[in-house]
Structure 1
Amino acid sequence: MKKMILALVCACIGYISYSQENTTNPKDTITKTIKLNEVLIQGNPKKDPVLTIVKTETEKNIVQPKNVADLFNYLTGFSLIKRGNYAIDPSFRASQYEQLNIQFDGGTKAMHACPNRMDPITTHVIPEEIEKIEVIKGPYSVRYGANYGGVVNLVTQKTNFQEKGWHGSINSGYETNGNSFVSMGKIQYVSGTYDITANGGYRDFGNYEDGTGLEIPSAFRSADYGIKVGFNPKDNQRLQIHWRQSFGRDVLHAGLPMDTDEDNSSILSVDYRLAPQSNSIDEFNAKVYYSYVDHIMSNKRRPNFMMTEAVSSIEATTSGGKLEMTLTPTKNWTLFTGVDALLIARDGNRDRLVKRNMMGMPLPQPVNFVDKIWQDSYVNDFGVFAENKYALNSTTIITAGLRYDLVTSDIKDPEDDFAAIYDLTKRNEHNISGTISIKKYISEETILEVAYGRGVRSANMIERFINHFTVGQDAFEYVGNPNLKAEVNHQFEIGIKGKTWLFNNDSFLNYSFSGFYANLDNTILAVVDPSLSRKFMPMAQPQEVKRFTNIKNAYKTGIEASIGFDVLQDLAFSANVAYVYSKNKDLSESLPLTPPLTSSFELLFEKEKFWARANYNVTSRQDHISTSFREQKTLGYQTLDLRFGMQPVKKVTIGVAALNIFDKEYNNHLNFSFRNLDGFGNEPINDPGRNFSAFIQYSF
């Protein structure tokens, strides 16, 4: 497959280069340095997807991010699934994990190796490297891979071609709660035809304390570096190679049965863009990438280590690519068409040395067992897509897209008991997804968007092939199902956004609102299967086993709204609210991991060399829960965060923050519960109490 992608890239480049050399329109010569299409939202109404949100990251937003997941704070509609201080996943509108298409720089991916998601994609990218977060709020585009609940694109910092020569930055920070330290440096050289960027960072976080002073096991250390080389052979071409590595060490996961000893990831991506001088071909984009994750986890810091020593060594590879051409058959018609691929493979075992019997008595001779975790499995997705944008007039744009995915999966080294349950053969699935939407400019300041999308997601590797491992928020053993049907999301949404000038046009009011309804077919959930028995520690509770299965009837509905205006010339206020309601009609309960109603209020005072920000967050009680998922009702809470920053001298920025000022004891509804830890019960993990932090940055 990799050879086929590379061959196709070369063939397309050759064809377009030929077309460029034989163009009849030399007057269209491009004179500006071309930029890669690493973003989804370009500020071009004829190309941008509908129903999107963008969050730009600067030091004014986040003072001390632990990892990329922290950047989703204050992003309306998002919640965080927390297993500790490191393994954090974003959730949007009660969609999570592979239900969200999370990528960076327009398509690069790195999938986790651990079945408990100790190492999600948010741990493999330096948070200071992220310039902005782009979100397509549902299955309203077919261009960026299979899209079930939305696309999240993490955009890394771009090269500033206007600043020739050497430049860079150094920054360092400290947190009181956990005695945590962060440092990072970046250096860049830009010339007329090429540019080189190198960065590196180190993080050392200790165990934090919650609002009651209870210490939460959450320490970790991580080191990251990246090198990006860009080459512009001509004004209308850009070739870029990006290499990055991340190393996690001694990561404690309070909500998981084991801790991470080592997590090593390597990611290589190659991007190419050509803007031909042609009337019919606007641009050509190609991307190929490869990532490798080597993950080692153990229970050596856990109480049950005295009974059984367990060490798991796992590896995961993610590779893929994308070829896309942007065609302009007419002035008002833009056509995006192309192919993409996502290839995921995992393998690894758990070695158990049983030292005591079930009564706690030492064995005469410890017994060693080897458990196959991923059973040498793979899931490959090959897609082809076409998306049309047509401007009916100067104020109305219609988008229609169609996508086909061939999903191939297989298990090459099955455990005997897993093979006894299923007839294991290579499986092919054929998924059809599509979208249609209208964007209407009611005025220069107001946009109305209406969209329908059919998003399809085939089962992930955990749902297909996991074999009697505890991979959920509860203590059940889970068994995969290779025969699962693909989830289908029929989502409808209407949104309006704009601004209105106030006070004789001295200031303006920003506003946005969107409401959606998603009818869900074949939702994949794990439910108790009486025909299965617990495999490991058979006398432990719960003794029932969960098997992944399809739920036929479910739905979600919700809203997001925001408003903001200038109180004074340098003082702005904004308010945001998000709510989602879900229903599993088959079991007459909520879908799991549905967040409660959340609201946030912000005051921002900003001068050229000084800024201050106050965030007041209100999270409501969550009573609508999934009892089959063993969810617990959670109380509401309120927190207040303050941030200040200034530039005392040129090129130097200083920032301080006081987070959770009231030292509130609280936990988010999506937090995992404590697992296999002395002194803790089954309550969800509390979030940090009061925390002071500071950072300093020097740019040159």
Structure 2
Amino acid sequence: MKKKEFWLAVTAAIVSQTVVAESDVAGAAEAVKLYPAEALQVLGQSPAQLNPAPLSDGGELLRSVNGVSGSRMGGRGIDPIIRGQSQGRLNILLDGAYLHSGCPNRMDPPTTYAVTDSYDQITVIKGSRTVIYGGGGSGGTVLFQRGWPDIEQTVSGEASYSYRSNSDSEALNLDLTAASELGYLRVIGHRGEAENYQDGAGNEVRSAWESQSAGLLGGIRLGDNTRLEGSFEQVEEENVLFAGAGMDSPFSDNDSMRLKLTHDFAAGNLQRLRVEAYRTEINHLMDNFSLRPAGMMQMKAPTSSDTSGGRVLLDAYFADTAWVFGADLQQNDRNGTVINNINGMKGGILWPEAEIRQYGLFTEAEHRLDNTNSIKAGLRLDRVSAEAGRSRESFMLMGTPTTPAARYQAIYGASDQPQDETNVAGFASWSHRLNSHYQLETSLSRSVRSADATERFMAKGDWVGNPQLAPEKHHQLELSLDFDNGDHRWQLSSWYNRVSDYILREYRGNVQSYRNVDAELYGIEFEGRYRLSDSLSLRPALAWLQGNNRDDNQSLSQISPLSARLALEYQQSDWLLAAELVTAARQNDVCLRSDSACNGLDVQKTPGYGVMNLHGEYRINDSLMLTAGVDNLFDKLWRSHENREDVSGNQVQVAEPGRSAWLKLSATF
């Protein structure tokens, strides 16, 4: 079956002949112009270019990108997956800041706090192709970006209202900017809410949520070549229901602060200095009684996740080479406890004052050999330390006192002593233009990911971390071929990732646990644009991947099946009509909890599906835009394979929404 799907993917990719969108190329080119050695791979699009529909959060937006999927537990908090990798294997930055989830079971991945309409541009870098955004990032890097505003309009803004029928969700967004030669002031605000949606079979899915956010951003020119920017942003989640979790979330709040200094050198080899600092604080509460019928065992789990960090980057040009030199640091502190709401006793310590610190040094360079060849390379050194301050604090397990340290010893024979790591990562790529239409690129990389706070220090009766996990070492090879003749563009990529010490989450009896294994992931991606006429264009895309546990000769859990998209767009001067077919094959290569040889996280062998989406845009005038559409036109019952069982082991694979009509009215001024 694996060979059959492999050759099906290859054949479909070659026959389809398509590409990266025009705006993708333009966005990447602009990014390279600003930061010459940042090997940006794709995208660089506005959120509306990726998906014009009203969406619940940044994770749902990213599922619009070929090769990117997401795991759903409710109506919000879609956890993005790139090339079969998620969570700590992705570097996700919101306007330059790192956030780490406040929920161990990922009710709130970082993208939950990304109000998509408040960002100017989204960049997705698949795989390990840069070293300047922190250690790890083996699956990819996602940048939610905001830029210095254009001063042609002293006062500008955008306001929007959206409505979605399935869930009766509504959202209001406001973005106002006042700018001059001296600087700018920007105010952003958002308010959204949704009721439970219905799946394609008419079943109600627990998925309601409320969200609001506000942000104040400002920048000032300290001189002709120096700019200082600062921001403060609050995002508040309330009454968030989860069909795929044993608990709901009464609230989850995030406060973010950022400071950025940029200086452009007037002449010489030095080009730009960037200094950035940030602080993000998340407070999260989940329980099983305040938003659902209370049972005999009423439990609550207050948690916090605070992250501080910053980086210094120096762009330079010498020896006919564009360079970036830099250093960064990041510290994440997490605390969380499970508490019996009836008697106040502790039933587990989710994060026992877990502290992970990372200090990094890096350099990245790009050199053009001649008119047809260029090379890029980067090198990174990280020092990582991890410790748990509450590992000797007691909690009750089956009526008996125990501690996190005792749980680590009982499950793994592992000590709770602090751990230190020194990690070396890097990449090298070569780009060769074959002729005026074809370009070939190859990339070889090594990235190293340290275990996160949950994998190291989780301490419950049915879920225990391993403090002595070795860091993952990813060694990736990627080949890509691009074609562009003006009317037709396509990109075909293939990649292979051999992983030493892959951190595998599995079940040992009824206990979720972690161990290191050797693994491999590999796949093929194809996407493009075929211009049928001046007004009509076709956009096909395809992604296939495979993940294997090489130690046990088993499939890895949560691996996306073969998927394909086909979009047809008709555009005139003021309006656009589009139809998109989203399909996925049946996923038979699974690692089931019910399989004693595998003990994995997959719920079932997931059936394939095909979903039709329609949308249209009409520009009423220079200021007003009306967008409307219907998702899941034929009201299909379907589930993404990555929709996982909950932390309590309940076999629930959350169904996606059924038919849903939507509209969005946007005004710019």
TM-score (normalizing by structure 2):
0.89
Whichever residue aligns with residue 239 of structure 2, its letter is: D
* Equivalent residue, structure 2, for 1:436: 428
Contact 2:124 2:140 in 1 (8 A): yes
The equivalent residue for 2:494 is 515
The match for 1:500 among 475, 485, 490 is 485
Q: Which residue of 2 aligns with 1:401?
A: 378
- Tell me the distance in 2 between the aligned counterparts of 1:98 and 1:38: 25
Q: Which residue, 662, 665, 668 being the options, matches 1:696? A: 665
Is the aligned partner of 1:242 residue 2:212? no
- Which residue of the other structure, out of 124, 127, 139, is the alignment partner of 1:138? 127
Say whether residues 1:481 and 2:484 are aligned partners: no
Determine which of 621, 644, 659 is the counterpart of 1:672: 644
Separation in 2, partners of 1:383, 1:151: 18
Asked if structure 2 preserves the Cα contact closer than 8 Å seen for 1:100 and 1:150, the reply is yes
- 1:396-425: CA deviations, max 9, x gaps? 111222111000111111144322314322
Distance 2:464 2:457 in 1: 7
Partner of 1:426: 418
**Cα distance change of structure 1 residues 145 and 300 upon mapping to structure 2, 3 Å threshold:** same
Equivalent residue runs for 1:518-533 within 5 Å: 518-529=497-508
Quick check: 1:271 aligned with 2:243?
A: no
Q: Which residue of 1 aligns with 2:184?
A: 195
Q: 1:568 to 1:556 in 2, by over 3 A?
A: same
Gaps of 5+ in 2: 1-26, 394-401, 593-598
| Secondary structure in structure 2 of the residue aligned to 1:308 | coil
CA contact (8 A) 2:156 2:177 kept: yes
Letter in 1 for 2:59: A
Indicate yes or no: 2:417 matched with 1:417. no
Q: Percent identity?
A: 24
- Answering whether residue 528 of structure 2 is matched by residue 563 of structure 1, we say yes
- Find the counterpart in structure 1 of residue 369 from structure 2: 392
Q: Could you tell me how far apart the structure 1 residues matched to 2:245 and 2:610 are?
A: 27
Distance 1:283 1:231, change over 3 A: same
Contact 2:568 2:580 (C-alpha < 8 Å) held by counterparts = yes
Cα distance, 1:676 vs. partner? Answer: 7.7
Counterpart position of 1:686: 655
Distance of aligned partners of 1:547 and 1:370 in 2 relative to their CA distance in 1, 3 Å threshold: closer
Report whether the alignment pairs 1:89 with 2:79.
yes
Partner Cα distance (1:630, 1:493) in 2: 28
Does the aligned pair in 2 maintain the 1:293–1:315 contact within 8 Å? yes
Change (3 A) 1:607 1:159: farther
Instruction: Give the whole-Å Cα distance in 2 for the aligned partners of 1:512 and 1:44.
Output: 24
Q: 1:617 and 2:569 equivalent?
A: no
Quote the offset at 1:664 in angstroms. Answer: 0.2
**Is the CA contact 1:129–1:156 (under 8 Å) kept in the aligned structure 2?**
no
Cα distance in 2 for residues equivalent to 1:178 and 1:651: 29
**1:326 offset after TM fit, Å?**
1.2
Q: In terms of mean alpha carbon deviation, does 446-455 or 485-494 score higher?
A: 446-455
- Please tell me whether the aligned partners of residues 28 and 43 of structure 2 are also in contact (alpha carbons under 8 angstroms): no
15, 39, 47: which one aligns with 2:37: 47
Amino acid at match of 1:573: L
SS of match in other structure, 1:128: helix
Cα offset, 1:607, TM superposition: 2.3
Q: In the alignment, what sits opposite 1:644?
A: 616
User: Which one is further off, 37-46 or 218-227?
Assistant: 37-46
Any conservation in 2 of the 1:634–1:669 contact (CA below 8 Å)?
A: yes
- The 8 Å contact of residues 94 and 594 in structure 1, kept in 2 or not, is answered as yes
**Corresponding residue SS for 2:606:** coil
Q: What does residue 383 of structure 1 align with?
A: 360
Q: Is the 8 A contact 2:149 2:184 kept in 1?
A: no
The residue number in structure 2 matching 1:19 is none
Residue 369 of structure 1, CA deviation: 3.5
Secondary structure in 2 matching 1:467: coil
Once residues 51 and 448 of structure 1 are traced to their aligned partners in structure 2, the CA distance between those partners, rounded to angstroms, is: 13
DSSP 3-state at the match of 2:59: helix
Equivalent position amino acid for 1:393 in 2: D
Question: Which residue pairs with 1:549 in the alignment?
Answer: 515
Q: Choose from 588, 592, 595 the match for 2:553.
A: 588
Quick one: distance in 2 between partners of 1:48 and 1:606?
Answer: 33
Q: Secondary structure at the match of 1:373?
A: strand
Q: Partner residue of 2:90?
A: 100
Q: Which moved more, 1:276-285 or 1:488-497?
A: 276-285
1:219-258, aligned counterparts within 5 Å? Answer: 219-258=208-247
Aligned pairs (5 A) from 1:10-409: 41-43=31-33, 46-49=36-39, 51-58=41-48, 61-105=51-95, 107-301=96-290, 305-330=294-319, 332-353=320-341, 368-369=345-346, 371-409=348-386
The one-letter code of the counterpart of 2:81 is S
Q: 1:672 to 1:423 in 2, by over 3 A?
A: closer
Distance 2:622 2:530 in 1: 30
User: Separation in 2 of the partners of 1:378 and 1:45?
Assistant: 32
**SS in structure 2 opposite 1:478?**
coil
* Per-residue deviation, 1:59: 6.5
Work out the CA distance in 2 between the residues paired with 1:289 and 1:160. 21
1:548–1:512 CA distance, 2 compared to 1 (3 A): same
> Secondary structure, in 3 states, of the residue corresponding to 1:62?
coil
Report the residue type matching 2:465 in the other structure: G
Q: How far does the alpha carbon of each residue in 1:243-269 deviate from its partner, in whole angstroms, 9 at most, with x for none?
A: 111000000011111110111100011
Return the alpha-carbon distance in structure 1 between the equivalents of residues 621 and 543 of structure 2. 40
**Secondary structure in 1 matching 2:431:** strand
Q: Contact 1:248–1:264 (CA<8 Å) still a contact in 2?
A: yes
Partners of 1:171 and 1:642 in 2: how far apart?
Answer: 20
Write the distance in 2 (CA, Å) between the matches of 1:206 and 1:249: 12
Is 1:148–1:488's contact at 8 Å kept on the other side of the alignment?
Answer: no
**Deviation readout 1:359-398 (Å, 9 max, x if unpaired):** xxxxxxx574453221111111110011222221232111
Q: CA deviation at 1:430?
A: 0.6
Q: Distance in 2 between matches of 1:563 and 1:650?
A: 30
* RMSD, aligned CA: 2.2
Structure 1 residue 135: deviation in Å?
Answer: 2.1
Higher mean C-alpha displacement, 665-674 vs 83-92: 665-674
Alpha carbons 2:31, 2:40 under 8 Å: kept: no
| TM-score, normalising length: structure 1 | 0.85
Counterpart for residue 579 of structure 1: 544
Contact 1:269 1:290 in 2 (8 A): yes
Letter of the aligned partner of 1:629 in structure 2? Answer: G
1:241-300 CA-to-partner distances (Å, cap 9, x unmatched) read 121110000000111111101111000111111111231211111110000011111111
Please say if residues 62 and 71 of structure 1, whose CA atoms lie closer than 8 Å, have aligned partners that are also in contact. Answer: no
1:491 aligned to 473, 476, 491, which one? 476
Superposed displacement of residue 675, structure 1: 7.6
Offset at residue 528 of structure 1 (A)? 3.8
1:131 Cα deviation after fit: 2.9
- Give the Cα–Cα distance (whole angstroms) in 2 for the partners of residues 353 and 135 of structure 1: 42
Shift of 1:117: 1.2
* 1:606 aligns with one of 555, 562, 571: 571
* 3-state DSSP of counterpart to 2:640: coil
Q: Which has the larger radius of gyration?
A: 1
Partner of 2:15: none
C-alpha distance in structure 1 between counterparts of 2:257 and 2:242, whole Å = 28
Query: Deviation string for 1:130-171 (max 9, x for gaps)?
Result: 333212222222111113424333333434324232121221
**1:152-198 superposed Cα distances (whole Å, 9 cap, x missing partner):** 33333434324232121221111110111111111110111110110
What is the CA distance between 1:40 and its match in structure 2? Answer: 9.3
* Deviation, structure 1 residue 303: 6.9
Q: Letter of the 1:333 partner, please give it.
A: T
Contact 2:330–2:359 at 8 Å: present in 1 too?
yes
Aligned position for 1:446: 438
